[in-house]
Chains A and B, each alone.
Chain A
Amino acid sequence: MSTTTEERRADRMIRALFAVAILAAVGFSFIYWYDDDTQLEGAFLGGGLVALAVGLIVWSHRLMPEGPFEEEYPDLRSPARTEAEVLSSLERGGVGRRKMLIGSLGAFGVAVAGGVVSTLRSMGPTPVSLAYSPWTRGLKLVTSDGTAVNASEVPVDSIVSVFPAGFTNSPQAPAVLIRLPPGLNHPLPGRSTWAPQGFICYSKVCSHAGCPVNLYNRTAYELQCPCHQSTFDVLRGARPVFGPAGGPLPQLPLRVEADGTLLADGPLSGPPGPVFWHHS
C-alpha cells in the first residue's frame, strides 16, 4: 500500500506509536490489578492515549488526502415557489383562520403550564422569617458538642464558637465569644452592659452572604470572614471596616453568673446573616 519512502517511514512511525499506546494500556491494567497507584495509573493510561492521539494525527497528515477540496455553501433561502407551497399547505382546511380555536388552544396551554408550574410550590414549606434566631434571654452558651462555656475556661484574647444550649444544629445559631482585655471595648450606645468582664459575643453568620466569620486577628481585634474578607471591628459593635459587607454582625448581650456560667441576656441585636427584603 505504501509506495514512497516517506510514506513507509510514516507508516512505521504510526505503528510504533500505536504499539506504545497498546503497551501503556496493558501497563495500566497491570498496575490496577497488581498495586492500585493513582499516579502510575494516570501516567500509563494518559500516556497511552496521548501516543494514540499523536499516531492518529500523524496518520491524518502523512497518509491521508489533505485538501484543498472544495464544496459549495448551501443556498439556505428556498425558492419563492417552494415557500409559497409550504404556506399553502399550512393553510389546509383553513386551520389558520379559526382564530378562536387557535386562541383557546393557546389559552389551554397557558392554563396547563401555569397549573403545572404552580405545583412547584410543593418543593418546600412556607418560608420562615429570615429574621429568625434561636438566641433568647437566659439561654446558656455552649460549644458545638453541647458543653456549657464557663468564664474561667476562657482566657483573655481567646475566641470560642458558641451556640445557644439546645440549638447546636441551627444554621442561624453560631456565634463567637471573645474575651477582650479589660477597658478596650467601646460599646455602642445602649450596649454598655452587654460585655461583662470583657466577654463579648457576636453572631458568627456573616452579614454579607452568610459564611461563618471564622478568622480572628487578636492584635487588631478584628473578625474576618474567610469567604469574601469582610472584616468587623470587635471593639466597636462589629461594624464592617473592610470588605463587601454592608452592615455589622448582630451582638448578643451577655450575663456572667456567680459560678462563671455564661448566659444570653437577651436576643441578638438584629437578625443574623445577610439582609433581606423584609429586613428592617
Chain B
Amino acid sequence: MPARTIRELNAAIDSRVGTQKFLKNALDHIFPDNWSFMLGELAMYCFLILVLSGIYLTFFFDPSDSEVVYRGSYLPLHGQTMSLAYQSTLHLSLDVRAGLLFRQLHHWSADVFLAAIVAHLCRIFFTGAFRRPREINWLIGVTLLILSIFNGFSGYSLPGDLLSGAGLRIAYSIAESVPVVGNWIATLFVGGQFPSDQLTHRLYIAHVFLVPLLIFGLLGLHLALIWRQKHTQFAGVGRSERRLVGSQLWPTYTARSLGLFAGTAGVLVLLAGLAQINPIWLYGPYKPESMSSNSQPDWYVGWMEGALRLFPGWRLHLFGYTVSEVFWPAVVLPLATFAALYAYPFVERRLTNDLVSHNLLDRPRDRPGRTAFGAGALSFYMVLLIAGAQDTLAHILGTTQPPVMLTLRGMTLAVPPLVALVTWKVCRDLSAAGRLPDTEPPQGPNDAASPPPARYLPARARYETADGAEAPAPASPLRRGGAALLGLSGAFAAGWFTRRSRTARRPNGAPGGGRDVGRDRAASQKRGR
C-alpha cells in the first residue's frame, strides 16, 4: 500500500479527472529489454539537457551583430572590434561563474545528441524497425535528424567567432550556388549581402525557438506513436508477433530511464568540466579577411565538409549560365541523402514485396542485402567525415595533402562496395550457419518482494519466433549491461573524437599569446573578483 498522502492525492485527482484506467494502463506498460532500445532515449535526454543548458545561455548571450571595441577582462583581445554576440560569449565564458561549464555542457550535449540520433537511426535501420506499421516514425525520425543538424549548425554559428563566421560564409556560398534562384535564396536568408547585420538575430530565433519547437512537437508525436504501436522486440523465449515481453514501466523502467538520464547528464557534465570544447576566445572575432588552418566544423556537418573538399572543381557552363562546383557536394548530395533516407522503407517494401506488419525485429545477419547496403552507405559517409579533416590528417601522417586527397577520393568510390561485399558475405555465412550464439537457459521469473500484478510467462523449453523456428535466448543481464555500457561509451567516444577539434592557430595579425597563458590570465582575473 502506498503512503496515505499518495492515496489521498490519487483519489482527489481521480474523483475529478478519472485517471485510474489510464494510470493502470501506463504503469503496466511493457518495454522490451535490450540496450540498443535505449539509444533513442539517450538522444531524448541529450535534447532535454540541451534545452535546459540553452535556457541558461540565453540569459547572457546577446544575438547582435552590432560592433563594439573590446575592453573586457580577456587582455589578448583588448582593443579589437567584434560583434556584441562575440563579446557576450566571451563574457559568459570567462567572467560569469559556472558560465563556461554551462556553455561547454551545451556544446558537448549537441555533439553527443547527434551521435545518439545517428546510432539510434542505425539501430532502427539494421533491425528493420522501420517496416510496417512504423514507417511514420521513420519519416518523423529523418525529419528530427535534419532539424537537429540544422539546429547544431545554427547554434555554433551564433557566437561570431572566426570559425563560425567562416562557416556562415561557406553556407552563404552554398545557397548562392543553387541554379537560377541562388542569389535570391542567399540574400533573403541573410537579409542582404553577407555578412549582414541581421544574420545572427535570425539564426538566434531559429536556434532557440523555431527549430526546438518543431523538434519538441515531432518528438512528442514520435513517442506517442511508440506508445500506441508498442516497441518492437527481438525474437526470443515467449516472444512473437503478437506477444511483447519485457519489463514494466513502473517501477523498473522508470528507475532505469531516470538512471539513463542521470548517467547521460553526468557524463556530459564531466565532459563539460574537463574537456575543453570550442574555446572561442582563442579563435578571435570574425573578420572576412582572416581564417586559420586545421579548421573543421562540428562532426555532424563533417561529411558535407568532406564532400566539399573532395569533389573535383567541375564547373558546368550551360547556355551562358554557370553551375558552381559547390552545388553538387553541398546541395545535391545532402538533398539526395535525406531523400534516400525518407524513401528507404518504401523502396525496400517494393523490392521485397513485404506488405505485412512486423513487431519482431530482424537480426542484421538475416537480411544480408539490407545490412550490406547500410554498411556500405555508412562507410561512404565515414570516408567523407574523415576527408572533412584532410589537412589535419596529412599533418598527422606527416605527408603532403595531394596523396591524402587522392586516396580519399579513391576511397569514396572503392570503400562502400567493398564494405558492402564483405558485410554481405559475413551475414550470409553467419545466417547460413544458423549458429545459436547463446544457449543459456532463459531467465526464470524474478521473485521480487511484492509480486507485481502482471502475468508471468510459463517457462518454455524452446525459443519460439513467429514462424515457430528456434531462435536465440535473450542475453544475460550482465552481458546486456556490458553491451549497453559499450554502446554508451561508444556514443560518447564518437562525440569525443569527432568533437570540434580545431587546433586554433592565431589568425593573421591577431595579437595574443599562447592559449594557456590567456586562459590562465582570464581565470585568475575571475578569481580575483
| Pairwise interchain contact A47-B242, C-beta atoms closer than 8 A | no
Known: A65-B452, A69-B30. A130 touches B176 (CB 8 A): yes
| Pairwise interchain contact A124-B101, C-beta atoms closer than 8 A | no
Question: Which listed residue (A40, A56, A126, A208) contacts B259, Cβ 8 A?
Answer: A56
Q: Is B255 an interface residue (CB 8 A)?
A: yes
Known: A53-B262, A130-B176. A70 touches B30 (CB 8 A): yes
- Render B397-428 as a binary contact track against A, CB cut-off 8 A, 1 for contact: 00001100100000000000000000000000
| Residues on the B chain within 8 Å of A55, using CB | 259
| Pairwise interchain contact B266-A130, C-beta atoms closer than 8 A | no
Q: Is A86 an interface residue (CB 8 A)?
A: no
In the bound assembly, the distance between CA atoms of A3 and B451 in angstroms comes to: 14
Q: How far is the CB of B475 from chain A (nearest CB, A)?
A: 13
| Pairwise interchain contact B449-A3, C-beta atoms closer than 8 A | yes
Q: How far is the CB of A75 from chain B (nearest CB, A)?
A: 9
| Pairwise interchain contact B170-A277, C-beta atoms closer than 8 A | no
Q: How far is the CB of B372 from chain A (nearest CB, A)?
A: 30
| Pairwise interchain contact B273-A246, C-beta atoms closer than 8 A | no
Q: How far is the CB of B416 from chain A (nearest CB, A)?
A: 20
Closest A residue to B289 using CB positions: A174
| Pairwise interchain contact B477-A47, C-beta atoms closer than 8 A | no
Q: Is A81 an interface residue (CB 8 A)?
A: no
Q: How far is the CB of B205 from chain A (nearest CB, A)?
A: 12
In the bound assembly, the distance between CA atoms of A39 and B381 in angstroms comes to: 35
| Residues on the A chain within 8 Å of B435, using CB | none
Would you list which residues of chain B between 184 and 208 have a CB under 8 Å from chain A?
184, 186-196
Known: A32-B97, A246-B324, A275-B324. A212 touches B290 (CB 8 A): yes
Query: Which of B326, B401, B457 has the most chain A CB within a 10 Å cutoff?
Result: B326
* Segment at the interface with A among B3-11, B13-21, B291-299, B341-349: B291-299
Q: Is B172 an interface residue (CB 8 A)?
A: yes
B side interface size, CB within 8 A: 121
| Pairwise interchain contact A246-B243, C-beta atoms closer than 8 A | no
Q: How far is the CB of B471 from chain A (nearest CB, A)?
A: 15
| Residues on the A chain within 8 Å of B338, using CB | none
Question: Which listed residue (B289, B330, B452) contacts A69, Cβ 8 A?
Answer: B452
Closest B residue to A161 using CB positions: B289
Q: Is B121 an interface residue (CB 8 A)?
A: no
In the bound assembly, the distance between CA atoms of A130 and B315 in angstroms comes to: 17
Q: Is B448 an interface residue (CB 8 A)?
A: yes
- Render B82-121 as a binary contact track against A, CB cut-off 8 A, 1 for contact: 0000000000000001101100100000000000000000
Question: Which listed residue (A51, A64, A70, A144) contacts B243, Cβ 8 A?
Answer: A70
| Residues on the B chain within 8 Å of A275, using CB | 315, 322, 324-325
| Residues on the B chain within 8 Å of A161, using CB | 289-290, 508-509
| Pairwise interchain contact B192-A125, C-beta atoms closer than 8 A | yes
Question: Which listed residue (B196, B245, B322, B446) contacts A279, Cβ 8 A?
Answer: B322
- Render B255-286 as a binary contact track against A, CB cut-off 8 A, 1 for contact: 11011111101111111111000000000000
| Pairwise interchain contact A53-B292, C-beta atoms closer than 8 A | no
Main secondary structure of the interface of A (DSSP, over half): loop
Q: Is A108 an interface residue (CB 8 A)?
A: no
Q: Is B314 an interface residue (CB 8 A)?
A: yes
In the bound assembly, the distance between CA atoms of A95 and B185 in angstroms comes to: 41
Q: Is B244 an interface residue (CB 8 A)?
A: yes
Question: Which listed residue (B194, B238, B260) contacts A171, Cβ 8 A?
Answer: B194
| Pairwise interchain contact B325-A210, C-beta atoms closer than 8 A | no
| Pairwise interchain contact A124-B188, C-beta atoms closer than 8 A | yes
In the bound assembly, the distance between CA atoms of A7 and B448 in angstroms comes to: 10
In the bound assembly, the distance between CA atoms of A71 and B271 in angstroms comes to: 40
| Pairwise interchain contact A210-B172, C-beta atoms closer than 8 A | yes
Q: Is B237 an interface residue (CB 8 A)?
A: yes
Closest B residue to A280 using CB positions: B320
| Residues on the A chain within 8 Å of B509, using CB | 144, 161
Q: How far is the CB of A56 from chain B (nearest CB, A)?
A: 3
| Residues on the A chain within 8 Å of B526, using CB | 36
Q: Is A151 an interface residue (CB 8 A)?
A: no
| Residues on the B chain within 8 Å of A54, using CB | 259, 263
Q: How far is the CB of B465 from chain A (nearest CB, A)?
A: 15
| Residues on the A chain within 8 Å of B169, using CB | 171, 209-211
Closest B residue to A31 using CB positions: B98
Would you list which residues of chain B between 431 and 452 have a CB under 8 Å from chain A?
442-443, 445-446, 448-449, 451-452
* Segment at the interface with B among A98-106, A184-192, A224-232, A254-262: A224-232
Q: How far is the CB of B141 from chain A (nearest CB, A)?
A: 19
| Residues on the B chain within 8 Å of A228, using CB | 305, 308-309
Q: Is A1 an interface residue (CB 8 A)?
A: yes
Question: Which listed residue (B261, B309, B323, B454) contacts A243, Cβ 8 A?
Answer: B309
| Residues on the A chain within 8 Å of B446, using CB | 65-67
| Residues on the A chain within 8 Å of B196, using CB | 124
Question: Which listed residue (A50, A121, A276) contacts B266, Cβ 8 A?
Answer: A50
Q: How far is the CB of A224 from chain B (nearest CB, A)?
A: 8
| Pairwise interchain contact B289-A60, C-beta atoms closer than 8 A | no
| Pairwise interchain contact A66-B182, C-beta atoms closer than 8 A | no
| Pairwise interchain contact A244-B308, C-beta atoms closer than 8 A | yes
Closest A residue to B228 using CB positions: A74
- Render A218-241 as a binary contact track against B, CB cut-off 8 A, 1 for contact: 000000011111100000000010
Q: Is B310 an interface residue (CB 8 A)?
A: yes
| Pairwise interchain contact B255-A70, C-beta atoms closer than 8 A | no
Q: What residues of chain B have their CB less than 8 Å away from a CB belonging to chain A?
A: 28-30, 33, 97-98, 100-101, 104, 133, 166, 169-170, 172-174, 176-177, 179-180, 182-184, 186-196, 228-230, 237-238, 241-248, 251-253, 255-256, 258-263, 265-274, 287-295, 305, 308-315, 320-326, 329-330, 357, 359, 390-391, 401-402, 405, 442-443, 445-446, 448-449, 451-452, 454-457, 477, 481, 507-509, 526-527
Q: What residues of chain A have their CB less than 8 Å away from a CB belonging to chain B?
A: 1-3, 7, 32, 35-36, 38-43, 45-57, 59-61, 63-74, 76, 120-121, 123-128, 130, 144, 161, 163, 171, 174, 204, 208-212, 214-215, 225-230, 240, 242-247, 273-280
List 18 interface pairs A-B (beta carbons < 8 Å), by A numbering.
A38-B273, A42-B270, A46-B267, A51-B266, A57-B256, A60-B253, A61-B481, A64-B252, A66-B252, A68-B245, A69-B457, A124-B190, A163-B289, A208-B326, A209-B326, A226-B391, A227-B170, A276-B176
Q: A72-B242, A276-B324 are in contact. List 8 more A-B contacts (CB 8 A).
A: A60-B252, A67-B30, A67-B245, A73-B230, A76-B133, A123-B189, A226-B292, A226-B293
